Structure 1
Amino acid sequence: MIRRVRDKAWNYLYKSLRYCVHLLRFWLAFIYSKRLKNVSFIGITGSAGKTTAKDLSANILRTAGECHSTPRSLNYPDGISQILLKVRPRHRFCVLEVSGGNPGDMDRPLRLFTPSIAVLTLIARDHFKAHKSLEAIAREKSKLIKALPAQGVAVLNIDDPLVRAIGESCDQKVIWVGETKGANLRLLSARSSWPEPLTLEVEYEGRVYQAKTGLHGKHLALSALSALGVGLAADISLMTAMTAIAEVKPAEGRMEVVSTDGDITFLRDDWKAPHWSFSAPLEFMAEAEAKRKILVIGTLSDYSLSASKLYPKVAKQALEVGDIVIFVGPHAPRAAKAKGDTGIQNLHAFSEIREAAAFLNALLEPGDLVLLKGSNKADHLVRLMYNTQKPVSCWVSRCGIQSFCGDCSKLYKPIPSNPATVLTKDNSDSTNNMPLAGHDSGRKVIIGLGNPGSKYQNTPHNAGYRLLDRMAKKSHGSWISCSEGLVCEINIAGETLSLFKPAAKINNSGPPTRLFLERIGANINSCWVVHDEMDLTLGQAKLKQGGGDAGHRGLKSVIASLGSSNIKRLRIGARRADDAGTAKTSVLRPLSRSDETALEKGIDRAIDILLRETAAPVRANET
């Protein structure tokens, strides 16, 4: 009781002190703003695109004079006070991003500055919970437009009905931007197909211009158009403005491209994730050209459906675009329901981001394009990217810190000595030094080798995966994501078997396999590795214990990671009568209908062998 009262008292004191600090800062900024009469203020608001429009506008205005602008997204009322105190009378321009996230949020900032140019990008469901309706959001945002002096200029999105209504009642000059006929800056087309950046075709005063940017995603065309409109309002030529926007890189966490040392590209759109905006990055990924497209999705916001209906729906949409889809966070199990009874293998769900990090590190390979889409405050998904380069220390969920993790001192610590803690490319081979002893827990594990992704399902190389899928289906088992891969517990004749698919390309199956076996305390003597075998024809299946890898790189990885070649292998024939190429090309060549029938017979024989083996000692070279 005493502790609860004390905590409430401290909380009240903290809030009171913070309010006093904010109020003091406001009045200091209010007094100081009187010295800034020669500074032209540009205010930018809207439900999306503010930060990008702000960065582009500032770079355009710098071609005409010294310009100060909002750092990152410091767009809340007290943030505006902080920015004003850093503006100097020598500045010709100051670009301010203004949020309006809550009713009345616009009032205090507009007492500090009068915009000469005001931009309103669009009205959407951001902060819908606070405002209760789109019309209420529009009313709050419109305060910036109404604050314009008689000679001021509004830059407005003609395509948004609510924004258009605001502009039509505006007495000041309006520069309309958008696709609709009648726009002063009319967008004729937008192209953004990875790896090419966003390029716009714009019509202005009867002439057509091509504007190149350093941005990615067609949805950012509105931000670019708005910035060009700001340039025109400031009497800067369109050609000069287009040159300026080409120099600007994406803001952090807003369709920002980051390439890692391992030739893996991350597309960071992890600042916020309102559901209404989710289609934009999906469209971008659909049109992107990449070896594999991996979508990592965190916490969504501002949605009208219940979470139990929303996340499975989003998962299905993502699966249409990505080769692999990973959900992270408390709603991830809801997304996993999209699997249903279909046995989808490329959808994974992790409640804990640390488990997702281990899974992703084992999965990634050069040429991958990875989208991180989530809410930074809720998820901090950027840790998944940092962890691919150096083991991350902090895996706290909802730490409450708004800033990105790159600025946090708690992000890193030395590489952990226990290889099961975090699987990274730096320490994944550290498991090779000592044979896996296990704890002889009695658990029997069937390890199926294969490649994740639908394009590999119909190839001989995925024989191990296919056998496990068959066993899981016959036993009505369900696949569950873990940090090392996928696991399914089944019961056959009173015997519990753990079916395991490593979360890695087949040639890198070893590290996640060892981590899984260590975590569950299994011994290699109670494990069977199922893989394709080019020395056997389709339809054959043989059991073997010990020996070399016969050129199978997946088996080689497992042997190296487990530290022993004395492994039971169930080999499923993969050689076809018409195979004339190398083993590498043959095992990845899709199966014909007759070949698939033959492979299924081999899998049937392998299952029969396996069922006998799980109840009896190993018999080498059994047919």
Structure 2
Amino acid sequence: MNTRISSDQLAFLLDAQTRGSAAYIQGLNFDSRHVQSGDLFVAFKGDKADGHDYVEAARARGAVAALVERWVPVEITQIRVEDCLSALAEWAKSVRQSSAATFVGITGSAGKTTVKSTVAHILSAQGATSATQGNYNNEIGVPLTLLELGPEDQFAVVEMGARFKGDIAYLCALVEPNVRILTAVLPAHMETFGSIDVIAQTKGEIFDGMKPTDVAVMPGDSPYLSAWQTRAAGKIVTFGYSEANDIQILDVSDRGFSGLALRLRTPAGECEVVSGLVGAHNASNIAASVGACLACGMSLDTIVAQVASVQAVQGRLARIILSDKTTLVDDSYNASPEAMRQALAALERSPGARLAILGPMAELGVNSDEYHRQVIEQALAGSVNEIWLSGASWPDLTDSRLRYFADTQAIIDELRSVPVFDWILVKASRSARLDRVASHLQMLGGAAC
């Protein structure tokens, strides 16, 4: 946390009560196991645990103060508020409003983290840039991201996720992005949203409340374009394949797991872009990133040079050398039907012997069985040599290339050495924990985990 503050100052900011002597807060944590000396411990009440029960453990690890909703019998400085989550948001909003940085907000059903990392990497060539770490993109993670801002930061790139209607509106009210990117709308979290239309409406909340000077970057080929345009009060930049787009993808050369080459037409001219990002779908993510960075005042030449050195995010089609022969592609962070299709398509375009290790896709609602069947049918229609399936979500089909495993641990138990393939793709929703398989393969291959 870059924001340093005394307990008395924070209590004044939050209009809160205090107990104990004044303390100087140098960090923040809501997990007592990870508290460091000088931290403020935030006692969130969750469905499974109440942070108030862990204040003593946090104090023992070095916490100097605790943000609480009720007084606890622990010898530590306490700041009492009605609701810890609301207090954290209020604190973060005050930091946002005092920052002179240009804020880029990003949402979408897919591509959020890739675009976040790409935009942050490009902008870092222009000035100090802060960005969301890991998957801190919800009502807790976004305030934590804002609290990491320092006075030196010229740009802040904030990823925003949603599981329910209103989530993006809430997060946008905290971030107040100057540039707002919607990456894509696809079937994701269908159990909570119910339909693609609701997803499009919810993601479109990122365009509500814009100032005339703000910039909206949106998929120009989407059937929801006109609805989003109506909501956006500032300048609109579209990206996609059709000629009407401001950032038009003119040509894409998909080199499988070796990356992409694409040609773009932009308001600043045409350009050739080479990227190590995997999959033709990343052409749209690159186009969105280019549009956003042009809106931030960067030159096209600098943007193109920066895109060439963007690295894949861990767990998102990240290539890891296991041996002279074998490369692991770790895409275990998340999975939707479209992301599965794209990963398998990239595997198809990569020469050599290929193994796909696939886990279940979560939160697909009543159509889950059909989505899983479609993925297997695509994989079997291609030339993948073997397909290992984890969990009970997959249809029971007869094909010599298919192997079924009860769970992630069963696959790990099977892997006593690195399988003899040129390419090994590992992909699933995060809840399947196939990241453990990716880590196990790296251990077997001697790669750094």
Amino acid at match of 1:39: A
- Per the TM alignment, residue 288 of structure 1 is displaced from its structure 2 partner at its CA by 1.3
Could you say which residue in structure 2 is the equivalent of 1:158?
220
How far residue 305 of structure 1 moved from its aligned partner, in angstroms, is: 5.7
Inter-partner Cα distance in structure 1 for 2:52 and 2:272 = 53
Instruction: Describe the superposition over 1:222-242 as per-residue Cα deviations: whole angstroms up to 9, x where unpaired.
Output: 111111001110121111111
Structure 1 counterpart of 2:426? 372
Using the alignment, how far apart are the partners of 2:192 and 2:101 within structure 1?
33
Structure 1 residue aligned with 2:159, among 97, 100, 103? 97
Task: Determine if contact 1:119/1:154 at 8 Å carries over to the other structure.
Answer: yes
CA distance in 2, matches of 1:90, 1:40: 12
AA partner of residue 86 (structure 2): L
Give the structure 2 partner of residue 32 of structure 1.
95
1:301 pairs, out of 362, 366, 380, with 362
Q: 1:209 to 1:309 in 2, by over 3 A?
A: closer
- Of the structure 1 ranges 308-317 and 271-280, higher mean CA displacement relative to structure 2 is found in 308-317
Q: Which residue is 1:318 aligned to?
A: 379
CA contact (8 A) 2:207 2:231 kept: no
TM-score, L = length of structure 2: 0.77
Q: Does 1:277 align with 2:339?
A: yes
Indicate the larger mover: 131-140 or 70-79: 131-140
Deviates more, 1:295-304 or 1:267-276: 295-304
- The Cα of 1:190 is off from its aligned counterpart by 1.4
**Other structure's SS at 2:224 match:** helix
What one-letter code is carried by the residue in structure 1 that aligns with 2:229? Answer: G
Q: Aligned partners of 1:132, 1:231: CA distance in 2, in Å? A: 34
User: Are residues 1:381 and 2:434 paired?
Assistant: yes
8 A contact 1:114–1:149 mirrored in 2: no
Question: Could you list the per-position Cα deviations for residues 338-387 of structure 1 after superposition, in whole angstroms to 9, with x for gaps in the alignment?
Answer: 10xxxx3221000032332243445712x5201111012x2221222322
Alpha-carbon distance, 1:187 to partner: 0.2
Work out whether residues 166 and 205 of structure 2, in 8 Å CA contact, stay in contact via their aligned partners in 1. no
Partner-residue secondary structure (3-state), 2:328: strand
1:248 offset after TM fit, Å? 1.0
- Say whether 1:352 aligns with 2:407: yes
Report the CA distance between 1:175 and its aligned residue: 1.3
User: SS at the partner of 2:90?
Assistant: helix
Paired residues for 1:406-445 under 5 Å: none
* Percent pairwise identity: 22
Specify the alignment match of 1:593 in structure 2. none
Match of 1:73 among 135, 154, 159: 135
Gaps of 5+ in 2: 1-44, 54-67, 70-82
Q: Which of these residues, 299, 305, 310, is aligned with residue 243 of structure 1? A: 305
Using the alignment, how far apart are the partners of 2:304 and 2:418 within structure 1?
40
Q: TM-score of the superposition, structure 1-length normalised?
A: 0.56
2:397 to 315, 326, 338: 338
Structure 1 residue 122 corresponds to structure 2 residue 181: no
Distance 2:371 2:240 in 1: 30
The whole-number CA distance in structure 2 between the counterparts of 1:10 and 1:63 is 40
SS of residue matched to 1:43: strand
**Structure 1 residues 90 and 385: alpha-carbon distance in aligned structure 2, compared to 1, 3 A threshold:** closer
Higher relative contact order (CA 8 A, sep 6+): 2
Cα distance between partner residues in 1 of 2:85 and 2:231? 34
Change over 3 Å in CA distance of 1:161–1:242 after alignment to 2: same
Q: 1:345 to 1:75 in 2, by over 3 A?
A: same
Aligned AA for 1:314?
V
Match of 2:79 in 1: none
Partner of 1:212: 274
Q: Which residue of 1 aligns with 2:296?
A: 234
Residue 146 of structure 1, CA deviation: 1.8
SS in 2 for 1:96: strand
- Which structure: larger Rg? 1
CA positional deviation for 1:312: 4.2
